[in-house]
Each structure stands twice: as C-alpha cells, then as structure tokens.
Chains A and B, each alone.
Chain A
Amino acid sequence: MTETLPDIMPAHVPEGRSSPRRRIAAQGISKVYQTPTGPKQVLSGIDFSIGPGQKLAVLGRNGAGKSTLVKIIGGVERPTGGRIVRGMSMSWPLAFGGGFEAAMTGYDNIRFIARVYDQPFKDMIERVDDFAELGQNLLLPVKYYSSGMRARLAFALTLAIDFDCYLIDEVIAVGDQRFHQRCHDALFRDRAGAAMILVSHDIGIIREYCDTALVLKGGYGRTFTDLELAISIYATL
C-alpha cells in the first residue's frame, strides 16, 4: 500500500474546515507498462493536489495517459513510481458499469455495492431507484438491460453514496436528453460542494465548473490554475 492516510474518511465533515490532510493528491506518479515491444512509459512524474470542493479538469489528446491516470487515481492499478494520497473519500469512476455482474438482478447489484461501502440497503435502493427510474426492471438480471439502463443504474449507484470527491471519466454524455440534464444537475448543482476530478473533452463543462486543469501530453503533465491558458494550450496540442 502506498497510501499513508485512510481510504475512507467520514463522509460528513463540516465544510469550510479544510485541514491539510483533507486532500486528494498525486505525487510524482509514473507508470510503465511492459508490452511485447518493450517497456512503454505512459505517465511520468504527474503531480496535482485538490482540496474539498475543488474541481480539477484533466485535459489531453487520445493516448495522453488520461485513462491510465484515472485507473491509478481510482486505485485499480498501482503506479510504477510515486503515490496517491487519499485524505478524502473518493468515488469509483462515475457511471462505471464494469463492476456489474450481468447474471445478478439490479437489486442484487445495488445490495452488493451497499455491502462493500457499508451503506444501509433500504436507503441505498431508494436513492438509486429515485434517480435511475428503473422501477420493476430492478428485478431483472442486468444482462437484459439496454446500455442506457445500465448507464442510469451505474450513475445512480455512484450518486447514492455521499463522497467527498467524485472521479468522472468522460461520461456526461450517457442516456437520453432528459437523463443527461438530470445527471448534469445532480453533479454540478446538487453536489456543487464536492470535489471533482473531471476527465472530459467537453470544454464547455470544464470552463463552467473547473477551477484547475491538468494538461497531459505524452505522459507528462502540468497543472494550471489559469483555466483559459490551459484550454488554449490544450487546443494547440
């Protein structure tokens, strides 16, 4: 384990008292993959740090290492060098449906997440159902769900737990127009106080909500507090 701070801290800590420990930080993250054509350096010395309520955009062209960075921040893969400090509770990548068990019903998938994150079943099921609007479909195995239904369930599951920081990987474009709008409201209006790490190509959303940007190029990254500068650099990449 590279973390020195506990993974999960109490979700409801009074706001406005940001101790230096309440941060999510990457310190000198590097990642090398062993491939058949030799080692491939995907990330080199990535640094950033965000506190409660801060919103960080991650910008970069395809292949710049964004997805790898998400996996490392999310704790699925270990960095080859450096470490991630998690002083706040952080969600799994928003709307990530890869953890669904297709043979299990929607309800059982919700119960599984509730068990893992130690949440009361009833509360969790109500919150998910309220947002995903799947109704009776929750009784069906997930394999019968359309991709839109899956996305709704996945989105609702992430939002049913109060995290201090949400990890968002290019998903604002799920579902139909109406759902799209509700996701948008749920994230940026109702959870305006939560910290976010947002990987997106949608400059509009980034410009509107983020206060810092990490621009990735060829595995190297630089953090900008001047968002317009970051966006203009991203545009020239």
Chain B
Amino acid sequence: MPIRFPRLRKKARVINALLIRELMARFGHHNIGFMWQIIEPLMLTLGVMISWSFIYGDRNHGVRVIPLVLTGYTFLTLWRHMIARLTHTFRHGSGLLFHRDVRPADILVARGLLESIGTLISFFVAYIPLSLLDVIEPVDDYLVLLGAWTLMAFFSFGVALVITALAHFSDAFERIVQPIMYLILPLTGVFYMVYWLPPAAQSIVNWSPLVNASEMFRAGYFGSGLPTTWNAAYVLLCAIAVNAVGWVLALKAQQHIELE
C-alpha cells in the first residue's frame, strides 16, 4: 500500500536508510552479519538456561526452568539493549545531522525498531528448535505473547527516550543510569513469577509496568495453567506516559545538539 503523505514518506525513507545503516555498521557484510543481532541475546539466554538448570534442576516452584529463562531473558535483553543503544544517540550520530532530512529522532526510532525486532527474532530462533525437540511446550496464545512484546518494546522505548534526553543534559545522570538499571532488575519481573511472592511483595511489584508486561508475556507463553497477574491497559497507559514525556524531552534535547 503506497503511503501518500510526502512528509511521512520522507520519514519512512530516512528511517529505512538508518535501519540498514545501523545493521551494516554494527555487523557488516561479512560472516553472519545480521545474525549477530539475534545470536548475542541468544547466547546469554542459552547460558543462563544451562546454569539455572544446574541450580534449580528441571523445575523452579513447579515451573519448568528452560521456558522460564527463555521468556525472562529475551525480555530482559529487550529492556537493557533498548536503553543501552539509545543512550548515546545524540553524541555518536551527530555527523549524520548535516544531512538535513536526518533528525536525531529518526535515529532513535530506527535503533528502537532494530532492537525490538532483533530481540523478538532471537526469541523465536531459540524457541523453534527447542519446541521441535520437545524440550519446551509450545506457545499457548500468540496474541497475548506478541501483545506483551509490543507493549514492552513501546514502554522500553519511552524510558530509553527519557534517559537519552536526560543524559544529554546532564553528565552526572548518564553515570548513574547503569547502577539504576541494575538496582531495578528485581522490578523487571524476569527472575520470578508474581504468585511465588508473599502478598505484601506482590502488591508492590504489581505497580511495575515491567512486571505486568513480563507476566503477560508468560501468560501468553504458558497459558492459563500458570497463575499470572497483569493488566495490559496499565502497561499501555504507562508506555504512553513515558513516551509523551520522552518525546518532549528528546525534542528539547534535539535543539541543543552542538557539534564540535
């Protein structure tokens, strides 16, 4: 379907060019190229699968360990990579800005898309052989699973925008991003299921949009056999909120870009 709005078509063209450029720059033509985008998270997931299998055995709190890790770590990778890759955009991409049609916002969108899609593919690259080998059970509900992924990508992108813009304004903030990211790991919900927790802890983590999204993702994967608590509307609302704040900040930061 052809897009008719000229401005939108120009944006689409520029973002497409940036996507390809990002891929080429990161992985090149040689060896396996784009596959690295998929293999990087895959190696982490597989490594954790093996070590958790040793630590917990086949099941943890009655949930099979391998799918637990698969759903958790791909999700965590999406969150971490989205933020890490976007943070320096305003600094590194600056030479590109002499091409007037390329705005920093386009670079942000291109990177966000690449991370969201790349990590999702890596999930399926791990999932397909494991499920064919009957190591893990098949996905129960694709709609819920992919819905959770989309919400998570949207939310992470918003948070990444806020961080990117604030890091542009304050070097101090940039330095505390890493510790903060590490400290909020428990609030991502990837290491546990909410129903394992005592009720008091449950009522706290249920406020985290990340926990909601990861529970939803697992609900899509495991189906109704596993008790999950999530609210898609809440995640969507949080995602819209952080994106709104993020875009305002990013557009403000965009006006303050100064080249050497």
List the interface of chain A (C-beta within 8 A of B): 7-8, 33, 71, 74-78, 90, 92-93, 96, 98-101, 103-105, 108, 111-113, 115-118, 141
Q: Tell me if A103 and B99 are in contact (CB < 8 A).
A: no
Q: Tell me if B28 and A141 are in contact (CB < 8 A).
A: yes
Q: Tell me if B98 and A101 are in contact (CB < 8 A).
A: no
- Chain B minimum-CB-distance residue to A76: B97
* Cross-chain pair count, CB within 8 angstroms: 68
Cα A105 to Cα B24 in complex, Å, equals: 9
Interface residues of B in 69-105 (CB under 8 A from A): 94-102
> Residue B99 contacts which of A78, A104, A105, A116 (CB distance < 8 angstroms)?
A116
> Residue A115 contacts which of B17, B28, B98 (CB distance < 8 angstroms)?
B17
> Given A101-B24, A116-B13, A77 and B257 touching (CB < 8 A)?
yes
Cβ-based interface call for B32 (8 A): no
12 residue pairs from A and B, CB less than 8 Å apart: A74-B100, A76-B97, A92-B98, A92-B99, A98-B98, A101-B24, A104-B28, A113-B99, A115-B13, A115-B20, A116-B13, A116-B14
Q: Tell me if A77 and B17 are in contact (CB < 8 A).
A: no
- Chain B minimum-CB-distance residue to A139: B29
Q: Tell me if B14 and A103 are in contact (CB < 8 A).
A: no
From residue A152, how far is it (CB to closest CB) to chain B in Å?
A: 18
> Residue A99 contacts which of B14, B24, B99, B258 (CB distance < 8 angstroms)?
B99
Prevailing SS type, chain A contact patch: loop
Prevailing SS type, chain B contact patch: helix
Closest 9 interchain pairs by CB?
Answer: A98-B95, A115-B17, A75-B100, A92-B98, A101-B25, A76-B97, A99-B95, A103-B25, A104-B24
Cβ-based interface call for B60 (8 A): no
> Residue A118 contacts which of B13, B97, B257 (CB distance < 8 angstroms)?
B13
Cβ-based interface call for B59 (8 A): no
From residue B172, how far is it (CB to closest CB) to chain A in Å?
A: 15
Contact digits for B8-36, partner A, Cβ 8 Å, 1 yes 0 no = 00000110110011001110110000000
From residue B259, how far is it (CB to closest CB) to chain A in Å?
A: 6
Cα A101 to Cα B24 in complex, Å, equals: 9
Q: Tell me if B258 and A105 are in contact (CB < 8 A).
A: no
Q: Tell me if A74 and B98 are in contact (CB < 8 A).
A: yes
